[in-house]
Chain A
Amino acid sequence: MAMRELVTGGAACAVPGSSSSSNPFGNLANALLNSSAKGQDLKELPSSLPTSSEAQFYPEAHGPQLPGSEFDQPYVQPGTQSSDFLRNFNSVGGGNGLLESAWDEVQGSHPPPMHGPQVLYDRGAAAQLQPTTLDGPPQRVLSSFLHSFVESSRGGIPFRPTQLPVLGLSAGDKQCIRDRSSIMARHFFADKSEDFINGQVNALLCSLDIDGEANSKGPLPARFRELEGYWNESQAIQKPGAHATDGWVTEFSQHRVDRGDPNVWAHSFEQQHGANGWASEFEQEQSQMMSADHMRGGNMASLAAMEQTRMLANTLAQNEDPKFQKSRFLQFVSKMSRGELIIDDNQVKQATSSAAGDWAGEYQQQYNAGSNWANEYQHGEVEISRANQWANEFGSEQEQHGSVDDQWVNQFSKLHVDDWAEEFGNQVGEGILGDSSADSWANAYDEFLNEQVASKQRLDSSRGVYVFSDMNPYVGHPNPLKEGQDMFHKGLLSEAVLALEAEVLKNPDNAEGWRLLGIAHAENDDDQQAIAAMMRAQEADPTNLEVLLALGVSHTNELEQSAALKYLYGWLRNHPKYGVLARPELSDSLYYADVARTFNEAAQMSPEDADVHIVLGVLYNLSREYDKAIESFRTALKLKPQDYSLWNKLGATQANSVQSADAILAYQQALDLKPNYVRAWANMGISYANQGMYEDSIRYYVRALTMNPKADNGWQYLRISLSCASRSDMLEACDSRNLDILLKEFPL
């Protein structure tokens, strides 16, 4: 998968306004990798469910009970699996296994078998010489040409420039090909010299009439050498195909896409770590010696703070637990106490020249700290898992445009360090916390760092900003909307999300694309993303009733009352039949009672309209009048018994009014109708957990997470259930999101 993700970086590469040819590499890679990727998609089909479920589900999926508008596309039989999209890819990828075997060879990190080159050379040459392949539409010519390039990698033979018809590539296309082929080549030829790789890439670019140097500042190898070092190292250590390597590559490519230019990366590294680096520390100290005069004027306040933290550091240091001793928290506190960090203006800063006292001793201390850092760095380099962590951490810090350290330090300073330190010191001193607590504090600090890392993304989504997937294989697809609808109908929610994201990237004003994307996210148990997508749908189509209802439901789930009320009322106001009931004076300041009354009027007006009862049920949830809500949903279910989302709404309402046993029955109905309904699986888990049946809840959470590992909620709940079920042994698997282990341990 890493390879696929590497080359399908798509979104960042797509040239606005150009056709799908802007993404030839993505298409190629999709084509080549399709067979293996496809296999994974299919695992998401409800194979483990009773065989009857498919029969129940598919006809239903086209029935009128689908939330939202109906689709008129001919129905694709589940068995055939051959949407146009996939068929195309299969046909393009006639030599399907090529890239994969090339990849395997690279992974093997030994030179290709010597008997290979001659045969392979012939194949490569043949591909180039076949007249038919170099005719026809530019897209196909390009495709076969790129094939031959990939093929040449198998034998490690030099790739020869060749004459091609005019392809009409735009500047953007060219840049895209140049960038991606450079990266790809470095993975194909991991065991070859830089010169060889450059030769290969230049030959490719030359044939395509792309100026290899136009865009790169200086030769590529220099820019990547360091990273390649890591890559080779990871190759040497990891066995072929190991997941960690893939992960790292993915990680790397993600950050590369984000950053674009590795120089920025290097630059930021200097910015963030340079100040801490022992080398610059050393220089700083020297300049401090020069300006000894200034030290006399040292800030008394910071001296006091140093004294405080020094006491705290001593208290902490008395704890002999090695884990705690090594913790970054303690290091931070020690650093404060040594005056490397000072508190100034209620902000913690790096000490510059103000640190007073015996500079010689301090220099020694700082020097030691410096070598610690160096050791740690070295350690990280040797141990690949550490390196991974480091890379992750660093990468995410990058995304925040500021150093996590600084942020944390700022936060820390807000705590009124003095009081806090004193209190903490006292309590530790009195042994109140016990030995294990020290551990958990240290762990908590580490977790805190991780949390910081994730916080940016969360900030975005909580602000209603839609967060796109980094690597989307559907970018460049000719008709992602149709693909997304098909996937949605088949219950492949996560795939549908990707396809629909590609659609709305292509057509940002497509209300239907956004709407279905929102529904897919809601069914996938991700309300934040659902809200973000639905808000875009509403922008594009402000009066769409389904969008308004979906927004009302999602905001209710997120406990956001006033927002929920606003959208539910908007549903009424824009309804062709009930709009007359809406009083215009209400829209400014909505009161729940008024809205509820109006809806009750609507329900009396047409008791046979299931939708009114549904909205009314949601409203009663908002006011926590659960009995009334249950009644409304039951009424609606009599009118729409096949609506799986309605069964789930009933179940959730029952669960929230502490009728978990009934809720489970309702969820079961929903899942009979739609086996891949992630939200219902997750709700099942919640209901078991709320009844204290933690072992059972774990199985359902794990089940939901296998279908959508991106649902953060699910992971958090799983973690809680694991601790409650005394299965701390599985916490690590949970934290590393290792579904293989969890699934094996907790089959459903």
Chain B
Amino acid sequence: MGSNDELKSEALLELMKQHLNTDAGKAIVEKIGLVYQINIAPQKIGFNEVIYTIDFKKGEVKKGAYEGGKADAIFSFKDEDFVKIALGKMNPQIAFMRGAMKIKGSLSAATKFTPDIFPKPSKM
């Protein structure tokens, strides 16, 4: 970590990355079986986005766009809103209605994007 304005989401996605290697993580991979691309913007959707791919086919989290074809669904959020959704503070459907989450691709694939697929960080 070199800079101070690292995204909060990065911590969660890092945890996710490791989590997908555990037994519980593998169960989730099996259940979802889709590829999500996540565009995270520090302040405003569409600006300075950092792109991640969560591959629930292979069980991987990578920085950058999906290289194996077309992602099943592409989400765009602000950093803060992604954290809220991943931690169960905000319902994804509500986020969508508010415009806090934008979706491209299959809506049915998007409906599997729920807080329970994310591991929760523990607090010191």
Contacts and interface: CB of A to CB of B under 8 A. Distances in A.
Contact of B108 (A432, A591, A658): A432
Interface string A715-737: 01101100110000000000000
A427 B106 CA distance: 9
Interface string B1-39: 110111010011011001101111001000000000000
Given A621-B124, A649-B124, A561 B6 contact: yes
A559 B19 contact: no
B124 A652 contact: yes
Interface of B: 1-2, 4-6, 8, 11-12, 14-15, 18-19, 21-24, 27, 83, 87-91, 93-94, 97-99, 106-108, 111, 115-116, 119-124
A687 B121 CA distance: 9
Contacts of B94: 444-445, 447-448, 451
B91 A411 contact: no
Contacts of A447: 91, 94
Interface in A190-233: none
The 6 closest A-B pairs by CB, nearest first: A692-B24, A444-B93, A716-B88, A652-B122, A655-B122, A562-B4
Nearest to B19: A658
B107 A427 contact: yes
B2 A591 contact: yes
Given A651-B122, A691-B22, A561 B4 contact: yes
A592 B122 contact: no
B83 A559 contact: yes
A412 interface: yes
Given A561-B1, A713-B87, A658 B22 contact: yes
A720 B116 contact: yes
A562 B18 CA distance: 24
Given A427-B107, A559-B11, A621-B124, A658 B18 contact: yes
A543 interface: no
A96 to B, nearest CB: 41
Interface of A: 411-412, 414-415, 427, 432-433, 437, 440-441, 444-445, 447-448, 451, 525, 527, 553, 556-557, 559-562, 565, 589-593, 618, 621-624, 648-649, 651-653, 655-658, 660, 663, 679, 682-683, 686-687, 689-692, 712-713, 716-717, 719-720, 723-724
Contacts of A448: 91, 94, 97-98
A683 B111 CA distance: 28
Nearest to B98: A411
A627 B89 CA distance: 30
A126 B87 CA distance: 62
A592 B1 contact: yes
B89 A687 contact: no
Contacts of B19: 658, 690
Contacts of A716: 87-89, 115
A562 B108 CA distance: 38
Nearest to B4: A562
B18 A590 contact: no
Contacts of B115: 716, 720
A590 B4 contact: yes
B56 to A, nearest CB: 16
A690 B1 contact: no
A565 B4 contact: yes
Contacts of B123: 525, 527, 557, 652, 679, 682-683
Contacts of A653: 124
A427 B108 CA distance: 9
Given A432-B108, A592-B1, A658 B124 contact: no
A441 B107 CA distance: 13
A652 B5 CA distance: 23
Contacts of B98: 411, 415, 448
B102 to A, nearest CB: 9
Contacts of B1: 561, 592, 622-624
Contact of B24 (A656, A663, A679, A690): A690
A304 B106 CA distance: 28
27 contacts: A411-B97, A415-B98, A427-B107, A432-B108, A440-B93, A444-B97, A451-B90, A553-B124, A557-B123, A557-B124, A561-B5, A562-B4, A562-B5, A565-B4, A624-B11, A652-B124, A655-B122, A658-B18, A663-B122, A679-B123, A690-B22, A690-B24, A691-B22, A720-B115, A720-B116, A723-B116, A724-B116
B97 A591 contact: no
Contacts of B120: 686, 689-690, 717
B21 A618 contact: no
B122 A433 contact: no
A525 B98 CA distance: 29
Given A686-B122, A716-B89, A719-B88, 5 more contacts: A557-B124, A561-B8, A624-B1, A651-B122, A692-B23
Contacts of B90: 451
A687 B122 contact: yes
Contacts of B124: 553, 556-557, 618, 621, 648-649, 652-653
